[in-house]
Amino acid sequence: CKQRSLHGPSPVTTFGPKACMLQNPHAVMHIQDPASQRLTWNKPPKSVLVIKKIQDASLLQPFKELCVFLTEKSIIVYVERKVLADPAIQADESFAAIIQKFCTFREDLDDISNRVDFIICLGGDGTLLYASSLFQKSVPPVMAFHLGSLGFLTPFNFDTYQSQVTQIIEGNAAIILRSRLRVVKESREKKARVDEKGIIMTNGDSEGSRKVLNEVVVDRGPSSYLSNVDLFLDGHLITTVQGDGVIVSTPTGSTAYAVAAGASMIHPNVPAIMITPICPHSLSFRPIVVPAGVELKIMLSRDSRNTAWVSFDGRKRQEICHGDNITITTSCFPIPSICFRDPVNDWFESLTQCLHWNVRKKQNYLCSKEDVF
* Mean of pLDDT over the chain: 87
What's the confidence (pLDDT) of residue 151?
Answer: 84
**Would the pLDDT of 200 be above 70?**
no
Q: What percentage of residues in the chain have a pLDDT greater than 70? A: 86
φ, ψ of residue 256 to 5 degrees: the values are -110, -120
Q: Which residue in 125, 219, 313, 324 is the catalytic one?
A: 125
Task: Specify whether 62 is located in the same domain as 166.
Answer: yes
- 164 and 84 inside one domain: yes
Are both 55 and 172 inside the same structural domain?
yes
The reported pLDDT for the residue numbered 103 is 93
**357-360 long-range contacts, Cβ below 8 Å, gap at least 24?**
357/265
DSSP string, 303-324: T-SS-EEEEETTEEEEEE-TT-
In a domain, 373, yes or no: no
Please tell me whether residues 253 and 111 are part of one structural domain.
no
Cα dihedral: 4, 5, 9, 11 (round 10): -170
Q: Is residue 71 part of a domain?
A: yes
Q: Are residues 79 and 155 in the same domain?
A: yes
Q: Is 117 a catalytic residue?
A: no
255 confidence band (pLDDT: 50, 70, 90): very high
372 within a domain of the structure (yes/no): no
Residue 173 has pLDDT above 80, yes or no: yes
Same domain, yes or no: 210 and 322 = yes
Q: Is the pLDDT of residue 93 over 50?
A: yes
The total of structural domains in the chain comes to: 2
152 and 190 share one domain: no
Question: Per the domain annotation, does 24 fall within a domain?
Answer: no
220 and 167 in a single domain? The answer is no
Instruction: Give residue-wise pLDDT tens across range 313-348.
Output: 999 999 999 999 999 999 999 999 999 999 999 999
> How confident is the model over 263-309, as pLDDT tens digits?
999 999 999 999 999 999 999 999 999 999 899 999 999 999 999 99
pLDDT at 205 over 50: no
Residue 194 has pLDDT above 50, yes or no: no
pLDDT of residue 369 exceeding 70, the answer is no
The whole-model pTM stands at 0.84
More confident of the two residues 72 and 370: 72
Quote the pLDDT of residue 133.
92
The predicted structure's pLDDT at residue 12:
67
Report how many helices (DSSP H) and strands (DSSP E) the chain contains, helices first: 8, 24
Largest CA distance in the chain: 91
Give the model's pLDDT for residue 367: 79
Q: Does a structural domain hold residue 259? A: yes
| Co-location of 288 and 163 in the same domain | no
Radius of gyration of the chain (CA): 23
Residue 81's CATH number: 3.40.50.10330
- Note the pLDDT of residue 60: 92
In angstroms, the first-to-last Cα distance of the chain is 65
Provide the residue range defining the domain that includes 324.
Answer: 180-196+204-333
Give 22-70 as a 3 state SS string. Answer: CCCCCCECCECCHHHCEEEECCCCCEEEEEECCCCHHHHHHHHHHHHHH
Tens digit of each residue's pLDDT (9 = 90 or more) over 27-59: 434 556 666 788 999 999 999 999 998 878 899
* DSSP per-residue codes, 336-353: EEEPSS-HHHHHHHHHHH
Say whether pLDDT at 159 is over 60.
yes
